[in-house]
Amino acid sequence: MTKPASAVAAPATPCPSLFSDSGNLAQDLVEAYLAVRNETERRAAPLTPEDQLIQSMPDASPAKWHRAHTTWFFEQFLLGEHCEGYKVFHPDYAYLFNSYYVSAGPRHARHQRGHLTRPGADEITAYRRHVDAAVVKFFRDAGEDTLKTIAPLVEVGLNHEQQHQELMLTDILHAFAQNPIPPAYDASWKFPASTRGSEEWVTLNEGIHTVGHTDDSFHFDNEKPAHRALVGPVKLARNLVTNAEWLAFMKDGGYSTPTLWLMDGFAVVGNEGWQAPGHWREIDGEWQVMTLAGLKPVDPSAPVCHVSYYEADAFARWQAKHLPTEMEWEVAARAGQLNDAFGIVWQWTRSAYAPYPGYRAIEGALGEYNGKFMVNQLVLRGSSLATPGGHSRISYRNFFYPHHRWQFTGLRLADYAT
């Protein structure tokens, strides 16, 4: 499920392309499509039908829903709009499995996705097979001009499905973490090895840098346009914050010291009763953490995971530091100066998720993909242990609300360099 340590220690510029370039576009599309679709099913394979139904909180979705929604995406936007004569698998599925695309029609309430015992997991498997067969036939039958036209849409659909592959794991882990008898998603799973080094800080002198996605390879619209930004002077931690450092923060009363917290954050701490990162349990005086391999002792040397923006911000203040901006993160990452930038935990930044200068959402229903979420959320950079191979990008902008912590989220620190 996870990438091996060698893949986790990603190069400074991970390659995002899903398509090979064999000169046969139909074949390239078929191979890329089936590879991503099969990865979803591989991730779902350890889950029972009961596992696939659960929605343990409104922000999470059932695995069955992820499998169906990603299928609906291809049915709605690819087959429905470009494949003449395509017959939908079931007339009600568009209502059930549309997520938030208002322009694609009405949809089932998000917080009630776990109420649907029917269609069952087997019916969703049949739905996936129906759509997969139609898509592959479409790729094989369509002419070169049509394929060139729809290839960018296919790439969006595949990257969309990869995003849901990650969510499928974070969501089932949250569900399993609620279980007093903690199940293992994969008993042989291991937390990825960290590549931290002894050199602590990288200094970025004041300078103007280009940030954002710079070429025509695949990217989401929120990564463009590339633009120039003034960065520094600042110091960034080369290493991620560890569980040992987090335990010291807890021992020092971090969660109960109001001066360390943003007001909204301290309210959440009180309301939720937070005393430790998400999925942690104190058993006989020892801290354990729920992982994809089940409940495990907290490893002091591993990067801390499942912390919210509020917690990351409070920890930084406790250290008399702060969180980097997304621009600082990107400049340091492009220079290859950040250890574990990819493949372990998404890293909170203190940048608001806002449009880049010159940003325009793409036209049509897919314009709802990113742009309408550009308020009240914070940007995370890098990628996590659950991010599928080939999905990471140095300009990638993930985003969540500041109280969210069920994703694989951690942090690195920044300090002023004046």
Between residue 301 and residue 320, which ones bind Fe ion under the rule CB under 5 A? Answer: none
Contact 138, 77 (CB under 8 A): no
How many Cα atoms occupy the beta-carbon half-sphere of 212 within 13 Å?
Answer: 19
76 interacts with Fe ion by CB under 5 A: no
Contact 330, 381 (CB under 8 A): yes
CB of 199 to Fe ion, least distance (A): 40
Q: Give the nearer residue to Fe ion in terms of CB position, either 114 or 265.
A: 114
Tell me the H-state helices in 87-225: 93-97, 121-141, 144-177
Q: In a 3-state reduction of DSSP, which class is residue 207?
A: strand
CB of 215 to Fe ion, least distance (A): 25
Between residue 122 and residue 161, which ones bind Fe ion under the rule CB under 5 A? Answer: none
Separation of CA 225 from chain center: 21
Q: Give the nearer residue to Fe ion in terms of CB position, either 99 or 383.
A: 99
CB of 38 to Fe ion, least distance (A): 19
Please tell me the total number of residues recorded for the chain in this structure: 418
Q: How many residues bind Fe ion (CB under 5 A)?
A: 1
What distance in Å separates the CA atoms of residue 292 and residue 386, rounded to the nearest whole number? 10
Q: Give the nearer residue to Fe ion in terms of CB position, either 159 or 409.
A: 159
Q: Kindly compute the dihedral angle of the four CA atoms of residues 174, 179, 181, 182, in this order, to the nearest 10 degrees.
A: 0
Contact 25, 150 (CB under 8 A): no
Between residue 89 and residue 108, which ones bind Fe ion under the rule CB under 5 A? Answer: 99
CB of 346 to Fe ion, least distance (A): 18
- What are the percentages of helix, strand and coil residues in the chain, rounded to 5? 40, 15, 45
Q: Give the nearer residue to Fe ion in terms of CB position, either 99 or 347.
A: 99
CB of 73 to Fe ion, least distance (A): 6
The residue nearest Fe ion at its CB is 99
CB of 220 to Fe ion, least distance (A): 12
Q: Give the nearer residue to Fe ion in terms of CB position, either 104 or 231.
A: 104
The tokens of 341 are what?
Answer: 């930038």
Q: Give the nearer residue to Fe ion in terms of CB position, either 56 or 99.
A: 99
What are the residues binding Fe ion (CB under 5 A)?
99
